[in-house]
Amino acid sequence: MKRIRHTIPALRAFVILILLEGILYSGSALAANRVEELTPEATSNLAQYLNPELLEMVFPNAERYGEVEGVPPSAPVFKGDTLLGYVFETYDLVRGVGFSKAPFHILVGMDLAGIIQGVRLVHHVEPIAILGRTDEDFHQYLTQFPALDIRKGVNVVIAMSGSPLEAEKFSQRTTSKNAGDLVEVDAVSRTTTSSVVFSDAIVRSARLIARNRGIKLIDGRSVGRTLDIDQFSPMSWPEMIVDGSLGHLSLTHGEVLRAFEDIQADPPSDVRSWKDEQLYFELYMALVTPAGIGINLLDKVWYDQYRAGRGVDDILLLILSSGDYSFRGNTFKGFSLSTGLQSNLEAQNETGIFDRIQLVQGDTTIPLHIDQHKELPFIHAKERPEFNEISLFFFTPDITFNPTQPWRLELLMEGAKDGNAAGVAMFTLPYRVPDRFITEPLIQTVSDIGVEMSLVQAAKGIDWRSVWRNRPEQIATLFATLIVLTVILSAQETIARRKRLHRWVRIGFLAWVLIWMGWYVGAQVSIIHLLNIAQSLVDDFDWGFFLVEPLIFIVSAFVAFGLFLWGRAIFCGWLCPFGALQELLNKIARALKIPQLNIPNAIQERLFAIKYLIFLSLLGLTFYSFDLAIAGTQVEPFKAAITFRFNAPWPAVTYAIVLLGIGLFVERFYCRFMCPLGAGLSILGRVRMFDWLKRRVECGNPCTRCETVCPVGAINPSGRIDMNECFYCLDCQVMYYDDHQCPPLIARRKRNEQASGSNLNLELPTD
């Protein structure tokens, strides 16, 4: 007890130091995330942010700007009475979200020639402080975009300066060898995801404004019929086949056999091995330049990257296959989706031309070259089949190919060799882009700028449902995890009666939560999510904003339901990856006989208040300045320990390790005394309607055994369980049913044994 009295002041001082470090760290993040004030009369993001000071940053030669107008919205800028160009805001146009899954807002100025004049990041909530970065790094990165011709693609790279790979550059997006006229921009290291999505948003929104305001993007050529690359609506794989967005060729063994009989040649050796009606090969093709096709097949993130990473008039064509034949043929070696083997992409002949497929449009045959090609490991279409080969081809303007006119893909199938020669059968897959993706000819000149053009619609962002469709395996696994947890808690009495079973169920489930939920799929719910919900209650509530993170949403919804049944314990005790990490490390510490510090109840109750103070402070900041609140959330170690798996700047990693180190001596130290999310859930958990944990009349008076066995000090000296602090580990329930640990049960067992012994003595024969 004397040792504890000397230890507690030191512990309290250490906690204060930790809090100060979090405050200082948050302060640096706050300075890095300061944004311009919004005008209250604003009606769009652009109108909210645009002011004379920002105009000078994004369009230095302009003297004034006009009203925000049009769909998509932009503001004309002038020098005197001369129109110079337009200013626009990226989120108004392409709904870009960053690494944090929250919107970012970038103002862009573009002249009438399609040249970027200036770029300014005005708002974001990217977690850059924990990565050792500031807003200045982002601003410096964006200085590479002025003078960019939006007709050109952007290649985001990391220059390995100051490293053993000096002067080497690694592309953050790879299209094909024939990348056209790309402009390289150097990404901000450790924030490459943010760098790429910023770049994509700038280029795509600039091109959208150019098309809508009559700025000619294809100089020196007749515009003619063009692709409408902006409209989008979700479609499944079968729906795309029905409406013609996706071409489909299906060949049975019998059809292939008859084709070779027609040319009097032997078919491939494996064709005769199956029945005629057995499917032999399937080929699919789609023009993925229009967003209505490309996003449904590739998903929005990858579509944006492939579009922004290419020239404005480059064409993207997707070819896929399944079955027993390879359309890539002898020209290609690469990743096999069926075998999983990887080798270098290389030409097997001198020309580098794919020798089994070619496009034919009118009288023109268009060969496909390896330099146009990018191999994809998967696509994201809903209800898609399995594939053996997926190839994306890029067509630059110098290739004679008009995607608005019909064409066909010719598949050349080689038969079995007869001596030195093999017969070749030809199969064709015709394709025509659906009319809704084609815009009829318009006279597009600079003089038409004042005319409202309604044929091109603003990008509305992707429906959250497409995100869910792209992650079926993870969603199904998470649902299975939650079902297992429900079974565990519903069968708590059965499990608690078996001490060994309880131990392995507890350890096994926590290990799964840490490794799969935390480190693998990143389903770590944070105080940021709770603050987002709080802010949405007073702002415009949008379910779509929360639904874009399916795993976080599912866990949050389950926890919200579980609050009525188990209180905060459903998350803190069972579904928090960082909490699982603390508990598992403490179990290892106990196994190694590391002494545990038992904090007296009177001191513990005062320490409990710390997390509530942190939570209420963050909640208050949310309604004053959400950016201040986000900065304050750096008190959470989740990003360093779970999201980035300790691959973060050393202050953040050190902070997380210190907390875990304390947890070796005080189980779940952070959860009990510092976690603002736990505090918020404790408050919300007061709606709990049931008391599932069993108690005896002897609990607390005279028996205090459960109080000492509770690892988190949630049982008061009176014997009452404080459900605001309980993690539902079930240790007390294991003791409740253990007649060798629970004093009332021990006494009952001994009485029964004595009674059995007395009865036995009565039955013994006498001499």
pLDDT the model gives residue 58: 93
The residues, any chain, with a CB within 8 Å of residue 417's CB and separated by 6 or more, are none
Burial of 164 (C-beta count, 10 Å sphere; 0-12/13-18/19+): exposed
Report whether pLDDT(248) > 80. yes
Domain edge (last residue) among 212, 243, 259: 212
pLDDT the model gives residue 685: 86
Kindly state the average pLDDT of the residues 536-565: 79
3-state secondary structure 533-592: HHHHHHCCCCHHHHHCCHHHHHHHHHHHHHHHHHCCHHHHCCCCHHHHHHHHHHHHHHHC
CB atoms within 10 A of CB 390: 20
Percent of the chain with pLDDT over 70: 75
- Residue 250 and residue 159 share a domain: no
- Residue 80 and residue 182 share a domain: yes
CB atoms within 10 A of CB 397: 16
Structure tokens at 52: 């004379």
- Residue 434 and residue 493 share a domain: no
- Residue 182 and residue 248 share a domain: no
Which of 26-35, 46-55, 156-165 comes out lowest in average pLDDT? 26-35
Which of 8-12, 89-93, 368-372, 375-379 comes out lowest in average pLDDT? 8-12
**Ramachandran angles phi, psi of 605, nearest 5°:** -60, -30
Q: What type of residue sits at position 252?
A: T
In a domain, 698, yes or no: yes
Contact 222, 461 (CB under 8 A): no
Say what the pTM is: 0.47
Helices 650-663 and 577-591 meet at what angle, rounded to 10? 50
Report whether pLDDT(76) > 50. yes
pLDDT the model gives residue 106: 92
pLDDT band at 28 (very low <50, low <70, confident <90, very high): very low
In a domain, 239, yes or no: yes
In a domain, 723, yes or no: yes
Structure tokens at 264: 């009097």
- Residue 415 and residue 310 share a domain: yes
In a domain, 189, yes or no: yes
Percent of the chain with pLDDT over 90: 22
Better-scored residue on pLDDT, 749 or 681: 681
Kindly state the average pLDDT of the residues 45-73: 88
pLDDT the model gives residue 451: 28
Report whether pLDDT(20) > 80. no
pLDDT the model gives residue 749: 81
Question: Which helix (DSSP H) or strand (DSSP E) does residue 247 occupy?
Answer: strand 247-252
Residue found under tokens 């002041």: 9
CA angle 252, 254, 259 (to 5 degrees): 100
Torsion sign (Cα): 691, 694, 695, 696: positive
pLDDT band at 329 (very low <50, low <70, confident <90, very high): confident
Domain edge (last residue) among 172, 189, 212: 212
Kindly state the average pLDDT of the residues 724-752: 86
Residues in the chain: 767
Structure tokens at 302: 């990858």
pLDDT the model gives residue 698: 82
From CA 542, how far away is CA 115, in angstroms rounded?
Answer: 35
pLDDT the model gives residue 344: 37
Kindly state the average pLDDT of the residues 40-48: 62
Structure tokens at 742: 């629970």
Structure tokens at 276: 């005629």
Report whether pLDDT(101) > 70. no
Pairing of strands 183-186, 154-159: parallel
What mean pLDDT value characterizes the chain? 77
In a domain, 507, yes or no: yes
CB atoms within 10 A of CB 454: 8
pLDDT the model gives residue 764: 45
Report whether pLDDT(507) > 90. yes
pLDDT band at 511 (very low <50, low <70, confident <90, very high): very high
pLDDT tens figures, 562-596: 999 898 999 999 999 999 999 999 999 999 999 99
In a domain, 388, yes or no: yes
pLDDT the model gives residue 343: 34
Domain edge (last residue) among 170, 187, 212: 212
pLDDT the model gives residue 571: 93
pLDDT the model gives residue 757: 63
For residues 542-558, one letter each, b for 16 or more C-beta atoms within 10 angstroms of the residue's C-beta and e for the rest, the string is eeebbbbbbbbbbbbeb
CA angle 403, 409, 412 (to 5 degrees): 160
The residues, any chain, with a CB within 8 Å of residue 477's CB and separated by 6 or more, are 516
In a domain, 449, yes or no: no
Contact 748, 697 (CB under 8 A): no
Q: For residue 137, what are the CA distances in angstroms to 45, 142, 194? A: 23, 9, 11
**Ramachandran angles phi, psi of 70, nearest 5°:** 90, 165
Query: Best-predicted range by mean pLDDT among 59-73, 380-394, 662-676, 700-714?
Result: 662-676
pLDDT band at 108 (very low <50, low <70, confident <90, very high): very high
pLDDT tens figures, 401-450: 888 888 899 988 888 776 556 678 889 999 998 888 876 553 333 333 33
For residue 109, list its beta bridge partners. 87, 118
pLDDT the model gives residue 704: 80
For residues 359-385, one letter each, b for 16 or more C-beta atoms within 10 angstroms of the residue's C-beta and e for the rest, the string is bebeeeeeebbbebbbbbeebbbbebe
Report whether pLDDT(501) > 90. yes
Residue-number span of the structural domain to which 149 is assigned = 33-212
Whole-angstrom distance between the N-terminal and C-terminal Cα of the chain?
59
Structure tokens at 547: 């639904």
Report whether pLDDT(6) > 60. no
Better-scored residue on pLDDT, 107 or 299: 107
- Residue 163 and residue 73 share a domain: yes
- Residue 585 and residue 508 share a domain: yes
pLDDT the model gives residue 421: 60
In a domain, 458, yes or no: no
- Residue 12 and residue 43 share a domain: no
Better-scored residue on pLDDT, 213 or 1: 213
- Residue 364 and residue 294 share a domain: yes
From CA 391, how far away is CA 505, in angstroms rounded?
Answer: 45
pLDDT band at 208 (very low <50, low <70, confident <90, very high): confident
Better-scored residue on pLDDT, 538 or 381: 381
pLDDT band at 598 (very low <50, low <70, confident <90, very high): confident
**Ramachandran angles phi, psi of 91, nearest 5°:** -70, -30
Better-scored residue on pLDDT, 331 or 149: 149
From CA 739, how far away is CA 757, in angstroms rounded?
Answer: 18
pLDDT band at 747 (very low <50, low <70, confident <90, very high): confident
Pairing of strands 247-252, 421-431: unpaired
pLDDT tens figures, 151-184: 777 776 654 333 333 333 434 444 544 445 667 7
* Number of DSSP helices (H) and strands (E) in the chain, helices first: 28, 19
- Residue 174 and residue 68 share a domain: yes
pLDDT the model gives residue 717: 84
pLDDT tens figures, 446-483: 333 332 222 223 333 334 665 677 678 889 999 999 99
Burial of 230 (C-beta count, 10 Å sphere; 0-12/13-18/19+): buried
From CA 303, how far away is CA 431, in angstroms rounded?
Answer: 21
pLDDT the model gives residue 207: 83
- Residue 400 and residue 292 share a domain: yes
pLDDT the model gives residue 284: 94
Which of 45-54, 359-368, 646-655 comes out lowest in average pLDDT? 646-655
pLDDT band at 233 (very low <50, low <70, confident <90, very high): confident
Which of 317-331, 347-361, 396-410, 517-531 comes out lowest in average pLDDT? 347-361
pLDDT the model gives residue 579: 94
Structure tokens at 443: 């006279």
Report whether pLDDT(191) > 70. no
Kindly state the average pLDDT of the residues 222-237: 70
Q: What type of residue sits at position 202?
A: I
Q: For residue 610, what are the CA distances in angstroms to 22, 142, 214? A: 13, 41, 59
In the chain, how many domains are there?
3
Kindly state the average pLDDT of the residues 336-362: 59
Better-scored residue on pLDDT, 302 or 684: 684
Kindly state the average pLDDT of the residues 622-635: 78
Kindly state the average pLDDT of the residues 117-143: 80
Q: What type of residue sits at position 309?
A: G
Which of 196-205, 341-350, 491-500 comes out lowest in average pLDDT? 341-350
Nearest to 574 by CA among 708, 680, 482, 636: 482
The residues, any chain, with a CB within 8 Å of residue 267's CB and separated by 6 or more, are 256, 257, 259, 260, 415, 416, 425
Contact 114, 122 (CB under 8 A): no
- Residue 109 and residue 22 share a domain: no
SS3 call for 281: strand
Contact 121, 58 (CB under 8 A): no
Kindly state the average pLDDT of the residues 337-364: 62
- Conformational region of residue 8, where left means phi above 0, alpha means psi within -120 to 50, and beta covers everything else: alpha
